[in-house]
Structure 1
Amino acid sequence: MSEDEDAERARRWLAEAGVTQVSSDAWRRDDSPEALLTPNEVAHTWTGVALEDPALDATARLRTAFGLLDLLGEYWVTREIRLALADQHNPLPAEAFWDACRLRLEAEAEPEALLYSLWVDWFEDRDTSATAFAEVLGNDLASLPAHEVPAGPDRGPSLRRARRVLEASGPVPWPVKQPAYRTAAGMPELHPALFRGLLGSYHDVYGDLEPEAAVALLRQLDLPAGTEHLTKLHQALEAGHRHHHLAPHAWR
């Protein structure tokens, strides 16, 4: 499976439904060629249809939906996929779903809609945060391929995924993410991302951390001098504050 293959699959599926792309941000239906559709309109109209297509098996429906995400870049696609995963009568394969997420988190182009979905849907939901964090990072961070660590400024696909997930991990419960945070603290190439994860853990509406453990991690990070918010975060954690919204005065 690859993103290009899934995108092409989705493009063919849309074409069979009479929907074709006419520019980077416009689509057209054969039955109303004068009315152009935005990517968001295509996502709202056709993602659910693809996920319920009786001509496709579960894996093909999932890949078509991810192909729509690749083509359209719209958050709504992730919402529809999440709903379909929860459908007990006609479920999508969870393992294939997480494989597809990891693939896109490792891609050179940042998967903005998928990252937003992880942050506000999967990580903020206490029923899904542990599973989601484990699947996209926690299960394999400690076994990151050694050959990727010294290679170039981008440091390889797995590290790219680790950076992106850490930065979005603020809402993940502290006991769930702490082992991965400790591992990341031992990898200098992940220090900036871990700092942003700690910052989000303090500031996000559903952010979660333990001040004593968090400040211990913060002390281990090798960050550029003058890193924005570093001093304030350090002071807030040293004072025992666990969340910005519980003590807004501490940050001021």
Structure 2
Amino acid sequence: MDAQAAEEARRRLAGRGAVEAGDGWVDASEPGQGQHLTHNEIAHSWAGEVFTDKSLEAAEQVRLAFGLVDLLDEYWVTAEIRHASRGAQGSFPADVLWDCYRQRLEAEQVAEAITYSLRVDWFEDRDTAGTAFAEVLGNGVDHIVAKGAGASLRRADRVLACSGPVPWPVKRQAYDTAARLPALHEPLFKGLLTSYHDVYGDLEPAAALALLDRLRLPAGTPHLAELRFVLAAGHTNHHRSPRAWDEAAQAATD
């Protein structure tokens, strides 16, 4: 969380009548106790207007929107960010966008909306997957692995775990580099697993199997045997060969 951005978002919402009360939010413009507001209602009511506020510079709009994510943890806010990035015709501050993602991916606790939006909005789109993956991990993976600890390691962990939809040629080098650091073996396994199971997942079976064999994973890691089985058989995706996983599960119990 960016405390300054979250506080600015809180002030902005208060100016529009949405204030925190206890563990929730209320519409302070209503008489009496005020109507209870859900995070989703607030996101749908106010997130979009951040990007139409001409009193704010584009970079301020992005930071404020991420402040709303910090407060609300609502996917709709990230959807508005994505929408704004596509309609800005080159004026959208991409450097600020990715800095905001990296900052939150490195936090001790990350909003679910951040990792979810990264996967479904940026990684599943072939037009943006390469840039997004490079910005949140690929460009700095060598440094992260060399350092081997700290906030950037948390970021790598989270990105790898949700990177299934990223095209294999885009992520292969980063995966190979991450495999040099044992602390990243479990999130890397999650990345391989979702690369196989996700509807938009992407992998190359032989290369993925070679990578899988390099990972040091706890004994009894769920689905390890099944993943090795389907990759060895040359399957690329669960949804293209739906019976293969059942066969793998059966083989694992024999």
Query: Into which bin does the TM-score normalised by the smaller protein fall?
Result: over 0.9
The one-letter amino acid of 1:13's match is: R
* Counterpart for residue 196 of structure 1: 190
1:20 is paired with a residue whose SS is: strand
* Counterpart for residue 252 of structure 2: none
- Give the superposition deviation at 1:110: 2.2
1:92 is paired with a residue whose SS is: coil
* Counterpart for residue 159 of structure 1: 153
Is the CA contact 1:62–1:97 (under 8 Å) kept in the aligned structure 2?
A: yes
* C-alpha separation in 2, matches of 1:18 and 1:175: 48
Q: Deviations over 1:193-250 (max 9, x none)?
A: 0000000000000000000000000000000011000000001101111111111221
Is the CA contact 1:10–1:67 (under 8 Å) kept in the aligned structure 2?
A: yes
* Counterpart for residue 5 of structure 1: 4
Aligned residue pairs, count:
245
Alignment of 1:133-152 (within 5 A): 133-144=133-144, 146-147=146-147, 149=148
Q: 1:232 to 1:145 in 2, by over 3 A?
A: closer
* Counterpart for residue 80 of structure 2: 80
Q: Percent identity?
A: 55
2:220 is paired with a residue whose SS is: coil
- Give the superposition deviation at 1:99: 0.2
TM-score by length of 1: 0.93
1:25 aligns with 2:24: yes
Alignment of 1:83-102 (within 5 A): 83-88=83-88, 91-102=91-102
1:46 aligns with 2:46: yes
* C-alpha separation in 2, matches of 1:23 and 1:82: 31
* C-alpha separation in 2, matches of 1:241 and 1:45: 45
Is the CA contact 2:43–2:77 (under 8 Å) kept in the aligned structure 1?
A: yes
1:86 is paired with a residue whose SS is: helix
1:238 aligns with 2:232: yes
Q: 1:207 to 1:156 in 2, by over 3 A?
A: same
* Counterpart for residue 152 of structure 1: none
The one-letter amino acid of 2:180's match is: G
The one-letter amino acid of 2:167's match is: P
* Counterpart for residue 176 of structure 2: 182
- Give the superposition deviation at 1:30: 1.8
Structure 1 vs Structure 2 CA RMSD = 1.5
* C-alpha separation in 1, matches of 2:46 and 2:223: 43
* C-alpha separation in 2, matches of 1:3 and 1:205: 33
The one-letter amino acid of 1:243's match is: N
- Give the superposition deviation at 1:89: 5.3
2:60 is paired with a residue whose SS is: helix
Return 5+ residue gaps in structure 2 as ranges: 247-254
* C-alpha separation in 2, matches of 1:96 and 1:88: 14
